[in-house]
């Protein structure tokens, strides 16, 4: 989670919500009640059977619900999860009353939009090697994952087999280095 959103969340008390694997937090068509932070586990945001986003520990999600009339997707616990729900009404009151917090939150939202654009740019690339190299390049040439490789494969729109095979080939070709279990660096 970005430091830009933290002051806003500190201004509004949240409540813990525990979910079992497969349990629905909210459904498409329901009125939004909160912004959420994943404290433990993972939450899949799903629409029409497709996973739009996987929020992991430390991530915020549901920010569009602050301004939408209804959710456009369903949030489902990927595994046993705990989230903190920050009430929509309280957040909006704080944003209106504290312009400095509103500006920080807007900056955080802009950064999220930039990340979504980068993700879309990567998914438009045809080959697995292009997607992997682009993801590392967008991270400044060195990428340290905060999620398992299986989850990264999903973010890149690849099967885990294609990811492992392509990483092995890129290392053998001398195009990237592995750094530990979840790190990568472009060579040259």
Q: Which residues contact 147 (CB under 8 A, 6 or more apart)?
A: 56, 155, 182
128-138 and 160-172 helices, crossing angle to 10°: 80
**What count of other Cβ atoms lies within 10 Å of the Cβ of residue 53?**
16
99-124 and 128-138 helices, crossing angle to 10°: 150
Determine the pLDDT at residue 69.
97
Q: How is domain 125-186 classified at the CATH fold level?
A: Arc Repressor Mutant, subunit A (1.10.10)
Strands 81-87 and 34-40: antiparallel
Place of tokens 């430091």: 3
Per-residue pLDDT of the chain (188 residues; tens, 9 = 90+): 556 677 888 889 999 999 999 999 999 999 999 999 999 999 999 999 887 888 888 899 999 999 999 999 999 999 999 999 999 999 999 999 999 999 989 998 999 899 889 988 999 999 999 999 999 999 999 999 877 888 889 889 899 999 999 999 999 999 999 999 999 999 97
Determine the pLDDT at residue 2.
55
Return the domain boundaries, the chain.
Answer: 6-116, 125-186
Distance CA 44, CA 27 (A): 12
Distance CA 23, CA 21 (A): 6
Determine the pLDDT at residue 3.
65
- Say if domain 6-116 classifies as CATH 1.10.760.10: no
């Amino acid at each position: 989670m970005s430091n830009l959103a933290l002051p806003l969340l500190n201004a509004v008390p949240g409540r813990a919500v525990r979910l079992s694997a497969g349990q629905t937090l909210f459904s498409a068509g329901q009125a939004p009640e909160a912004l959420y932070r994943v404290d433990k586990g993972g939450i899949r945001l799903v629409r029409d059977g497709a996973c739009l986003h996987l929020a992991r520990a430390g991530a915020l999600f549901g920010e569009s619900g602050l301004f939408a009339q209804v959710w456009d997707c369903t949030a489902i616990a990927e595994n046993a999860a705990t989230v903190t729900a920050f009430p929509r009404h309280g957040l909006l009151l704080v944003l209106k009353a504290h312009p400095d917090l509103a500006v920080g939150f807007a900056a955080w939202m802009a950064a999220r939009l930039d990340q979504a654009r980068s993700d879309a740019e990567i998914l438009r690339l045809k080959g697995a090697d292009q997607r992997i190299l682009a993801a590392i390049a967008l991270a400044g040439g060195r990428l340290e994952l905060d999620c398992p490789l299986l989850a990264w494969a999903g973010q890149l729109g690849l099967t885990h087999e294609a990811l492992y095979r392509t990483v092995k080939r890129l290392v053998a070709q001398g195009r990237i280095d592995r750094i530990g279990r979840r790190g990568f660096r472009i060579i040259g």
